[in-house]
Structure 1
Amino acid sequence: MANYIIYFNAQWCGDHTEEWFQSRVEPSSAVSREMMDAGVWVFGGGLADDHTVHSADATSGTTVVTDGPYVETKEHLGGFVVVDVPDVETAKYWAGRLAEGCGWPQEVRGPVL
């Protein structure tokens, strides 16, 4: 078994009404429960736009922590799930299920080292 991360950027969700987003809560929660029942869910969660963001950079030799994302950042993480599955095909299956449940694209990376 290997860990894969399935994630989406908030900008991938598209422009929808609050009612539309609320209509996605049950289908996406159902997929999360399905993953838990299947024993593949490791950890996951969504991130709201108003959460605190800090950037840490040690490339200069000194660690500098600043408030907020880098100015040039155009996209930011909207949410993610870590799954423990036997192969990338299974991770892609769960990414597809999440895309259906959420109503927006998902991306798979891994295995996580």
Structure 2
Amino acid sequence: MTKYLISFPSAAMVVTAAELPAVADAARAVIAEAQAAGVYVFGGGINEDVAPVRVSADGTVTPGTYPETRRIQGGYTILELPSRQAAEHWAAKIAAACRCDQELREFMYDPMC
């Protein structure tokens, strides 16, 4: 099976403070469904209050990211699924729960994973 990254930037989720609890409950319900189906690998949101750093092979830590990297933030879910069609189905469920479009990307095959 293939692993898929389903994600969205923080700015895409435009909900009021009053709507946020319902959105959170809906998102948790989709994650629980994915866990019950045995396809859930990992999910979470980037902590945007913690600045990113770059770590070199010698252990040197440099504030920031690669210059060409766009800002990485928002929510991410990784699911392991049998097909692209299944990934699109789950991405639609997450989009409905979060009330915003989702990006879908496929991880390259890694025999160690």
Tell me if TM exceeds 0.5.
Answer: yes
Superposed counterparts of 1:80-91, under 5 Å: 80-91=76-87
Give the whole-Å Cα distance in 2 for the aligned partners of 1:72 and 1:12.
21
Residue 93 of structure 2 is aligned to residue 97 of structure 1 = yes
Give the whole-Å Cα distance in 2 for the aligned partners of 1:54 and 1:19.
34
Q: 1:109 to 1:74 in 2, by over 3 A?
A: closer
Give the whole-Å Cα distance in 2 for the aligned partners of 1:93 and 1:31.
12
Q: 1:103 deviation in Å?
A: 1.1
- SS state of the match for residue 31, structure 2? helix
Give the whole-Å Cα distance in 1 for the aligned partners of 2:66 and 2:92.
30
Among the aligned pairs, what percent are the same residue? 32
Q: 1:73 deviation in Å?
A: 6.1
Q: What TM-score does the superposition give when structure 1 sets the normalisation length? A: 0.78
Aligned residues: 109
Give the whole-Å Cα distance in 2 for the aligned partners of 1:103 and 1:75.
21
Give the whole-Å Cα distance in 1 for the aligned partners of 2:107 and 2:80.
9
The residue type equivalent to 2:29 in the other structure is A
Q: Tell me how large the CA RMSD over aligned residues is.
A: 2.5
Q: 1:25 deviation in Å?
A: 0.8
Q: What TM-score does the superposition give when structure 2 sets the normalisation length? A: 0.78
Instruction: Could you tell me which runs of 5 or more consecutive residues in structure 2 were left unpaired when the two chains were aligned.
Output: none
CA contact (8 A) 1:6 1:81 kept: yes
Is the deviation greater in 4-13 or in 90-99? Answer: 4-13
